[in-house]
Structures are given as structure tokens and as C-alpha cells.
Structure 1
């Protein structure tokens, strides 16, 4: 049995030993000739699983170590008997903690005050729920928009319309998949029409898919005073970045919100387990373990102000990534490939924590000593 994998998927060494031959290559080297006699593909979004790659191959199963699957031609796969599986929720915690890092950085470095503000969460699946958990831990009011869930959970009155989000929220953060058509189309969900409905000049955050926000309309909204600021991790037409869009951005990062070591290890585990379950083979997952952080203890007695925000920034500081991106905007993919993956909050222990702060730290996922 032959499995072809993207070389950048971590923790694969020894996983398939004794059960399958693993061929790990750079994405650009995974060609029709390479996959011709493969049984399975283990992919990221960098490998486009289309007819061009799959035609006349023996591939029976595609496992992508990502939440998104728009790099897989699902229609072609269905028509040719190729099954596939994504890794839903694999990096949800990482995206939630990216949001926490953004809130902490804007508070600590730029003087934002999120007390008495309302955050609108657009898309309340796995990642949206993680963001909701962060808001609850920090005591920030939220409004939730998720039309598919609203239809499925008719008795649940907690969801509001996108127009309500536009009129009532001080922060609007997007966590939806990219759907290019259909009832729940999200391509350019935030377009010029959306921005003109905004009432409170909100902060806009995109950590899902670049084309969910019309970037031209976003820039115009900032220049015309319809929004106060924006934070982008996902960019339309990435890796090509509009220099003016980058210049106006409050925090800019190269699509790494879901790139924690924990998210990566979970994605790999889900990806290889999907292959094992499909082909009924044995695998060894004991090596899929993220490394310990360099400084796993956070001493709150060293912080004079904003202890929660500073502890968050100890674990993940988006401004460090922002500085790198501004210094080399033409190296978008290089920055993603060479990214130093952070550990999630669960890997850190808070010491000298006052009793009144223990509940929020625990809710965020930190250990307390």
C-alpha cells in the first residue's frame, strides 16, 4: 500500500511503519506521475486534488489535515469513487487563542478597551465556539450569527441576523467556511453593502478564509471611516498581498491563526486515523506529540498591569508575527513554512495567581499552580 503525503505535515515519522509505504514530498513535487499508483493522499491545502492530479490514478482515499477542503474537487471525487475526509475542529483551539492574542495585543499595545463592547461572531462552528469561549472567559458580550445552525436549531433563539451583527457590534470576527455559491454562500459575505450597514464603526477580524471579505471593500470602508480598524490573518488572493491593505491593517499575520503545535498534532492524528480507518490498517501515533514550550510557567507577580492580557501574550503575541510580515510581505508562503508554532494555553502554568483571576485563566485553558 502506498500513501503520498505533503512533506510539511508534521509528526509522520514511523506512523505507517509495517502497514504502508509513505512517500513524503514537497507539495510542488506531488504530480500525477507520483500519485499514479498511490492508494491514498495525505494533504494540506497546498495540494489541489483535482482531475488534473487524480485522473487515471489508483487513489481511493484523500485525507486532508485541514478544516477546509476547497482544495479537493469533491464533485470529481464523488463521480470517480474517491472518498475523502477533512479534519473538522483540528485547529479550533488555536484560532480561538489567536483571537485572544489579538484582543490582548490591542489592549496592551494600542490602548483598546473591550469592556462593555459587543463582539459579533459570524460562524459558530468549532472555531466560532472557541472564540465564544474566549469572550466568555474575558467577560465580553457576544452576538452570534450562523444561519445553518439557526435553521437546524429552530428552538434556539440565541442566533441573530447578519444585519443585527452589523448594527449592534463593536467587533465583528468571521469564522465561516468558504462557500462560493448556494443558500449559505460566504464568498464576499462582507462586501460593500455589508460595510455600509455598519452602525458602530467596528473592528473587523478575519481568521477563516480570505475571500469571505471583499478586501477592496474592506480597504474602502477603513478609508471612508465605516470601520475603526481591521485585523487580517486570511487575505484575498494570498500569497499576493495588497501593500495598501497591509499598511492600513491593525494586525497582519500570514494565515497562521490555526498553526499552533497542538492544532498541527491534532490535524495529523485525525488525518492518519482517517486513512487507518478506511483501509483497516494499524498505525503508531505515539510520536504525534507537540514539544513543550520554552517557558511553560507564567508568573503573574511580574506583571504590573493587565495580567490576563500579558499572560496571553506570553503564550502567543501576534505583534511579533505582524512585524515579520511587514518586513517581508513578498515572503508570505515562506513565513508560513518557517513559522515557529506556538503551544496552546493548556501547555502553560500560571503561578502566583490571585483567587479572583483563577476562574478566567481556567476558562481560557491555562493550568493554575
Structure 2
């Protein structure tokens, strides 16, 4: 019987699906494995279910052995995988798109509301038992109606965020290497802009692009300098898309108004300058963190493994 290694605990429903086709070993350490631990743990497996913090490259594949058939990443993004190095060795790679779209879009918009309406700041005030009283100038935030949401990467999650923004009366603009389909632009009344124009005109800049050589530090000091001083930056994609030190400095100096962040450049560490600021809403990578969504992600990864091990094509393949 085939053997599958799961690099960190996943919901039981996913394990049950894997056990239908293979013997399953789960790495039960409650932390990411070091590269050495990871390579030792997966040796001899026919399939591996990986997490976004696992580095998957040619050395990993060699350590597993020539019998390896599939690596199923429990994430939409696969910047942790050297796709050419893995696929050229005949190993299938899969990810989990679609099932986390709504959860991530909800979280992005929740963080945006938190920073624009100063919800975290208000909660901290109450929990600190600081005296307060209502008056018309007390803790004024910023409304979203009539403002422009600029989306970098109008894929599935970007579109879901745009739909939520439209319900709040926002205008939609976006940039990306490819234009969205005409029907998507029509549904969202979305304008396609150059990245420079998007930076200059957006009241809220929401990042939904993959992490690659083109998007690493896409939002750096120069990009932040082109934005409105009243603008808000939202990131639920991957942390290294933003230069965190540059963002902290821009926020502190008032060159941008606020940030709403679910992902960080050196997770689980956060740039200390960001933690000192009240105009930053932060969450510990909770974009897909609902019971329903995380279960669906793990189950999709399991179905991908099961398909490959039983001679069928994967449901959601990643190609070089």
C-alpha cells in the first residue's frame, strides 16, 4: 500500500480520505519542521501533504525518494515550492484554490473596517480601563462610501473583496499583468489601471497577488511615496509583497494613513515598528481560519493525493 506523510496535523476528515488509499503518517510536532526534520520525516513517502511553511525543492524530492508521486500544498499560494525543480522530477504538485476565497475576503474587509473605524484602538482603550465619554469628535474614523478600492491582482479573492466593497458603496479599480474578463469588469464596474496610476488614486490598496520575483517588495518605500497620505494598505496575500520596514516608517511619518495586515514578511515575527502604531490592524494569518474553510482545504489536498495515487489526474494541479 502507498504511504502518505502529512507534515502537520490536519482535520480528521482529510486523514480519513487519505487512509482510504494509503497508510498515513502525521508529523505531530506543533511547529514547522526544520528543513532537516522535514526531509527525514517524508523519506520513503509516495505522497506528501505540505503546509505553506514547508520548503519544497529538488533537495526535498531527492530526500523523499524516486517513488514520490505527489505533493499537495494546503494553501492557494505555492511560493514555498520550487515548481520547476519538483515537476521536472515527475512529481505532481497541487494547491487548494477556491475553497478559501470567501473566508479570506471576509477577513480582508474585516481588517479594513477595523483600521478605518479604529475598532482595535477603541477596544484597547476600553480594556485598559481608560476613562472616556461620548462626544462628536471622539475617535473619528473614515467612511468607505464613495472611496476607491484599488486591487492588485483581480483573481478570485480580489473579486470577492471587490464585491464586498461594492456593497459598501466603493468604486473599484485594479492593476495586474493581465486584464480581467470583460464580464468581471462589467459586474464590478472595475477600471483597469497601470500600477503607478492605481497607487496614486486608490483610497484603499488591497493586495491579492502571488508572491514571486515580480511581486517581492512590490510595495516598497518608492511605491508608498506615490500613494495618497490618506490611503490604507491591506495585505492578505503574502507578507514579503510589502517591505514592512518601509511601511512602518511611512505609517509613523503620516505618509500613508493606515494598514490592515494578516500576513508578514518574516512570519511569525512582525516588524516591531508596526506593533507600536495604533493605525495598524493586524491578525496572525487568519485569512482562511474558519473551521469550514480549513477543513475544506485539507480535504481538497487529500482528494488530490488520492487521485494521483489511484492513477487519476489531480483536481487542482500546479504547473511550471
Contact 1:219 1:245 survives alignment (8 Å): yes
Contact 2:7 2:38 survives alignment (8 Å): no
Q: Structure 2 stretches of 5 or more lacking a match?
A: 120-138, 313-320
Q: Structure 1 stretches of 5 or more lacking a match?
A: 283-369
Distance 1:236 1:172 in 2: 18
Question: Which residue among 86, 89, 98 is the counterpart of 2:98?
Answer: 89
Note the alpha carbon deviations across 1:262-294, whole angstroms, 9 max, x for none. 221221122111112212279xxxxxxxxxxxx
Counterpart of 1:339 in structure 2 is none
Counterpart of 1:293 in structure 2 is none
Please, what is the CA RMSD of the aligned residues?
2.5
Query: Is residue 268 of structure 2 the alignment partner of residue 239 of structure 1?
Result: yes
SS of 1:16's equivalent in the other structure is: helix
Q: Which has the higher contact order (CA 8 A, sep 6+)?
A: 2
Q: What is the 5 A alignment of 1:117-266?
A: 117-149=147-179, 158-180=191-213, 185-248=214-277, 249-266=279-296
How far apart are 1:53 and its partner, in Å? Answer: 2.7
Alignment size in residue pairs: 277
Note the alpha carbon deviations across 1:25-81, whole angstroms, 9 max, x for none. 135285333322110001111222223332151211101110111111212212211
Q: What is the 5 A alignment of 1:300-311?
A: none
Counterpart of 2:304 in structure 1 is 274
Query: Is residue 23 of structure 2 the alignment partner of residue 16 of structure 1?
Result: no
SS of 2:192's equivalent in the other structure is: coil
Contact 1:122 1:144 survives alignment (8 Å): yes
Distance 2:25 2:196 in 1: 49
Distance 1:239 1:53 in 2: 23
Note the alpha carbon deviations across 1:310-351, whole angstroms, 9 max, x for none. xxxxxxxxxxxxxxxxxxxxxxxxxxxxxxxxxxxxxxxxxx
Q: Cα distance 1:108–1:211, how it changes in 2: closer, same or farther (>3 A)?
A: closer
Q: Return structure 1 stretches of 4+ with deviation > 6 angstroms.
A: none
Distance 2:101 2:268 in 1: 23
Contact 2:234 2:260 survives alignment (8 Å): yes
How far apart are 1:104 and its partner, in Å? Answer: 3.6
How far apart are 1:138 and its partner, in Å? Answer: 2.1
